[in-house]
Structure 1
Amino acid sequence: MSKEVIVIGGGIIGLCCAYYLQKEGHQVTVIDQSNMDAGASYVNAGYLSPSHIIPLSAPGVMRKGIKWMFDSSSPLYIKPRLDPDFLKWTYAFNKSCTANHVKKAIPVIREMAVLSQELYADIRENEHFTSHYRKDGILMLCQTEASLQEELHTAKLATEEGLEVNEVSLADLKLLEPNVNLNVIGGTHFKCDAHTTPNEFMTEMKAYLKTKGVLFYANERVEDLDLKNQKIVALITKQHRFTADEFVLAAGSWSAFLSKKLGINLLLQAGKGYRINTSRPTGIKLPAILTESKVAVTPMNGFTRFGGTMEIAGINDNINKTRVEAIANAVTKYYPELTLTKDEKDGAASGLRPVSPDGLPYIGKSAKCSNLIIAAGHAMMGWTMATGTGKVVSELVSEKSASLNVAMCHPDRKF
């Protein structure tokens, strides 16, 4: 049965929800408070990464986070503040940093990432998309023995999950990256990963959806949600009052604010990430993670992107130059012949990633609202999991069996 569905949020998750909903025959409207041309969906590393199977909330992360709290250039920076939502999130995050949680989360993350990668390929083939896409894998580059051993442990877990990954020596790296000088001792190569140029895919997807009758309302902030008998009867912006049969909340880091209007308390914090682009030839062929610095390197279509850091400091779009410098310094540390220029660093941009306490997204219906499906909290895995999330959301709206078991991602789960 065809339904009218409003998707709140025009980022990668919202667009993929809209894509699969219209495929199911629903009439879809996408509403976003921005112009839909910036933010996390445009500045991310573009990875489709089944390799990233370890959730952010892993043993030892909170300890590192407390240590790094006093260093604004650290890979993970948690700004302390006396905010009830932040304190609840911090408590739940610390509670989730266990080996048992990681063990349970790995299959969920792996299944969502693998399905999503397959769905990206299907979209490209079925809709004749031409945006940049390559499946060259990803290198995990290490400068210390401790980091290398940690990556080898992750590689072992990934292999047990059926993912293709090999240890690589310096000799191997010279063959894989013949045009760059690397200051590393070795690493691993996840052959299962792919990468894209995000703005190209976003532009192509929006254009496609418009041809299929999906309506877009940009620069429309949701002011209120009219709830009666645990059901949304209207969505209100300054300009319009919208009605629909079903609503999808895919507003990224802003999802927690909107869910509160419905009495749903999503534990969610904005994790700011930064990117620096260079259009100069770098010689870099393969995407890589600079493991000790937690910096991502992506050879995109016509430029190379360097991105990273997780800055949990509330919702804002301020550029912290200390963190930009940290990324630039890491690049030169691993690629000694490459130095990013002042202009390139001055052109840095940021995006806010919605981070749940346990490293798993929120996907599903809360018991507090019968016609709302939540799709948020993907943190650094939003690009990787977007198509799979969109597919599952469309199946929930259409009252079909879901392609994946997302029970661990339920919005009402306890921490």
Structure 2
Amino acid sequence: MPSSRQHRPAPASGSPRQVAVIGAGMVGLSCTWFLQEAGVQVTVCERASAGAGASWGNAGWLAPAPTAPLPEPSVLRHGLRAVVSPRSPVYLPPRADRTLLRFLAGFVAHSTPRRWRAGMAAYAPVNARALEAFDVLAAAGVPARTRPARPFLACFRRAREAERLCAELEAVRAAGQEVSGRPVTGRRAREMEPALTDRVGAAVDIRGQRSLHPPEHVRALAAAVRQRGGELVEGSGVADLGQTRGGVTVVTAAGQHQRHDAVVVATGAELGRLAGRFGVRQPVQAGRGCSFSVPVDRMPRGPLHFPAQRVACTPMGDRLRLAGMMEFRRPGDPLDPRRTAVIVDAVRPFLAGADLDDRCDEWVGSRPCTPGGLPLLGATASPRVFVAGGHGMWGIVLGPVTGQLVARTVLKGRRRRNPHRSTRCADPHPPAGDHRRVAPPCRGSARAAHPRLRPRVRPLGWGTLARVPPSPPRVRRDERSAHARRRTSAHRPAGRGLGGVARLGRAGGCGRRAGSGRAARRVPAAAGRRGRPRTARPGVGARRGPRARPERGRAGRRRAVRWTCTCPPRGGCGGSCRSSSAPAIPTRSVPRPRPCCASSTTPSACSSTGTRPSGGS
């Protein structure tokens, strides 16, 4: 079992020593605990009580195998008709909300196989460390324990539905995550779990998973934070955050101002309210779920999953907790009794001996969901404000490993500045004896200070929110500097383009490609008198050599090419020999040159005006 000393993050020089964590859920308390491992003094601000949000009513699965991005191709397969129905597992009540429309547009854009594979590739390395992070907490003395899930069955009506889950597990395995699962028949599933009825026609046995009691685990983690000297302030909401010189000011709902070196925002579905002003532009939508517990005659041996109905069942004490559904409502909306009835009707045919009418601990909570299905972790546009949220349904299983990643990001601190290098302009002449690399003087240093030119934050998956600078504006051709135009014109061949005389190869330099197609051939530059490059102009050749041949495009038509003269360099024709025959080019034509001296033995047979001799063929 790994010890906490092996995974203790080491603080860097200049790292914050007083940190405020906003939110006392599974993610916020995990960040607090791992920050305390490095000796940081942490203050936790919670609007209600510890674990009273989405962590309280979670199903309690520690199952990295089904942990995947929420946007998947099957969502588009269900269609809009199923989403707007209150009886659907995924329910979207019709309402006008700009943030919801942005979220849905991004959600649909990410519901493709390619996007799902990319998101799964980001989840795979983190899922591999999820259970290990729980072992670190247990080794450090956190009293809450996890239980192995034996068995962990995903139940279906027909074997065809089970094949879809097997294909999804294969895709998860292809992304680099280890998954151990095998399909079983309905009879074998009932032998493994007697609480199932004969309506279960097939199942998939997933191994290597665990489960826990979410309320007990969150309370134990909060007690461990207090025992280490952390301050947990319950019933104190945060109204605003303000960045000051050398720190961040936390403004509570009561009007108090508290100054800290850094702040971690872990407020779940309300992440954008405080983090939006610090560059977090991704919408975080509340995906509300329901849960309740019922008594059973025979407690199942392990968790049960009904993927088609989107319902999860977990033994907790002497009762069985049922959780599921997904509805996109506002976080403060009350519980809809129709959603509870949907869960009851969905699992009634599959569970034997469960009194589904004796429900207690009915709960509805908001799970933070992002359009891409990946959490938002790491630094924002401010180096002192960090975010940790957007886990969707996987906040419990990924909470401790998120605390490890965020704590390491916070403890990195600021890099030491080079004493011979300024943030505005580097010194191009360092002192004697300093052989370190010094960057050239910067230009446009006021970009970072301008509020409209601040870098935007884009989620790149786990570990960090990269501060991507804005892309440089496109410069129109007529807006370029005079130096750039002169430099470009020196390397541009002369000519009229496709409609007039064919362009020639560059007259100076080391040569360039003649022709406009992919198979253009290399033409060396020609030298004029006294070694100077000969000026290229329409109709003037640049070299002597074999006659160029027209190229063929994709459709077999002849393209406009840059011809080179085949006459001797002092023949008098000047390279202007060409016939009136033209290749087949739509709307316009390019004159095709011919060797004017083909029938003559002396160079003087060509006239200076470019006309052919009467005896030539």
TM-score normalised by L of structure 1: 0.91
CA–CA separation in structure 2 for the residues paired with 1:62 and 1:221:
38
Indicate the larger mover: 197-206 or 137-146: 137-146
Q: Answer yes or no: is 1:49 the counterpart of 2:102.
A: no
Q: How does 1:322-333 map to 2 (within 5 A)?
A: 322-333=338-349
Contact 2:20 2:260 in 1 (8 A): yes
- The match for 2:394 is 381
Contact 2:151 2:192 in 1 (8 A): no
CA–CA separation in structure 2 for the residues paired with 1:142 and 1:372:
45
Contact 1:151 1:187 in 2 (8 A): no
- The match for 1:187 is 203
CA–CA separation in structure 1 for the residues paired with 2:89 and 2:189:
25
Question: What one-letter code is carried by the residue in structure 2 that aligns with 1:219?
Answer: G
Identity of matched residues, %: 24
What's the CA shift for 1:114?
2.5
CA–CA separation in structure 2 for the residues paired with 1:383 and 1:32:
18
The alignment partner of 1:270 has SS state of strand
The alignment partner of 2:288 has SS state of strand
Of 248, 253, 260, which residue of structure 2 is paired with 1:233? 248
CA–CA separation in structure 1 for the residues paired with 2:355 and 2:405:
43
Q: Answer yes or no: is 1:408 the counterpart of 2:461.
A: yes
The alignment partner of 1:236 has SS state of strand
- The match for 2:143 is 129
Greater share of residues in strand: 1
- The match for 1:250 is 266
- The match for 1:371 is 384
Question: What one-letter code is carried by the residue in structure 2 that aligns with 1:190?
Answer: I
Contact 2:296 2:355 in 1 (8 A): no
Question: What one-letter code is carried by the residue in structure 1 that aligns with 2:189?
Answer: L
Instruction: Tell me: higher relative CO, structure 1 or 2? Use CA pairs within 8 A at least 6 residues apart.
Output: 1
Q: How does 1:194-343 map to 2 (within 5 A)?
A: 194-228=210-244, 233-239=248-254, 240-341=256-357, 343=358
CA–CA separation in structure 2 for the residues paired with 1:201 and 1:194:
14
The alignment partner of 1:379 has SS state of coil
Gaps of 5+ in 1: 401-405
The alignment partner of 2:349 has SS state of helix
Gaps of 5+ in 2: 1-10, 414-458, 469-617
- The match for 1:403 is none
- The match for 1:392 is 405
**RMSD of Structure 2 on Structure 1 (CA):** 2.2
The alignment partner of 1:408 has SS state of coil
- The match for 2:87 is 73
Q: How does 1:91-170 map to 2 (within 5 A)?
A: 91-127=105-141, 129-131=143-145, 133-136=147-150, 138-160=152-174, 161-170=177-186
Shift of the 99–113 alpha-carbon distance from structure 1 to 2, 3 Å rule, reads same
Question: What one-letter code is carried by the residue in structure 2 that aligns with 1:203?
Answer: R
Indicate the larger mover: 204-213 or 328-337: 328-337
The alignment partner of 2:139 has SS state of helix
What's the CA shift for 1:159?
4.0
Contact 1:287 1:298 in 2 (8 A): yes
The alignment partner of 1:324 has SS state of helix
- The match for 1:83 is 97
Q: Cα deviations across residues 334-368 of structure 1 (Å, max 9, x unaligned)?
A: 11543401x41x641111100000111001112x2
Question: What one-letter code is carried by the residue in structure 1 that aligns with 2:218?
Answer: M
CA–CA separation in structure 2 for the residues paired with 1:216 and 1:136:
36
- The match for 1:10 is 24
The structure with more radius of gyration: 2
Question: What one-letter code is carried by the residue in structure 1 that aligns with 2:386?
Answer: I
Indicate the larger mover: 36-45 or 151-160: 151-160
What's the CA shift for 1:136?
2.5
Of 174, 181, 198, which residue of structure 1 is paired with 2:190? 174
The alignment partner of 2:224 has SS state of helix
Indicate the larger mover: 295-304 or 204-213: 295-304
Question: What one-letter code is carried by the residue in structure 2 that aligns with 1:91?
Answer: A
Of 358, 379, 382, which residue of structure 1 is paired with 2:372? 358
The alignment partner of 1:67 has SS state of helix
Indicate the larger mover: 129-138 or 35-44: 129-138
Shift of the 234–374 alpha-carbon distance from structure 1 to 2, 3 Å rule, reads same
Contact 2:248 2:263 in 1 (8 A): no
Indicate the larger mover: 43-52 or 58-67: 58-67
Contact 2:85 2:91 in 1 (8 A): yes
